Amino acid sequence: MAKNKIPNDGKEVVILSPGSGIVVVKGKLFYSEGAQSWNVIRLRREVLHEFPELKEKSSSFGYKMIIPKSKQEAEKVLDIEKNAVPILLFFNKIPSVNLS
């Protein structure tokens, strides 16, 4: 499992990288009453298998999300963060089922 160190707000953080091939995981967003939005992502077993460090109770973890506004900006970000393996996250809306 490769680990890359990058600066983050003046502190050096270790970027976790997966250990094997491509993993595709589908899941749901959960509603947070406090935020009044669909903003909770629970990591599934497949993700935890790729990143076993996330099970360490005594450690602390965070995330960095970069949202480029164009393909050109995305290419710049990938060039800047070239030592890290990105995780692509796509949001999708699930159509509601009308039971009537």
Q: Per residue in 31-45, pLDDT tens?
A: 999 999 999 999 999
Q: How many domains does the chain have?
A: 1
% residues pLDDT > 70 (the chain): 84
Q: Which residues contact 15 (CB under 8 A, 6 or more apart)?
A: 3, 4, 5, 6, 83, 84, 85
Q: Enter the pTM of the model.
A: 0.66
The answer to whether residue 70 sits within a structural domain is yes
The answer to whether residue 95 sits within a structural domain is no
Residue-level pLDDT at 85: 76
Q: Which domain holds residue 14?
A: 3-80
The answer to whether residue 8 sits within a structural domain is yes
Q: Per residue in 54-66, pLDDT tens?
A: 999 988 888 888 8
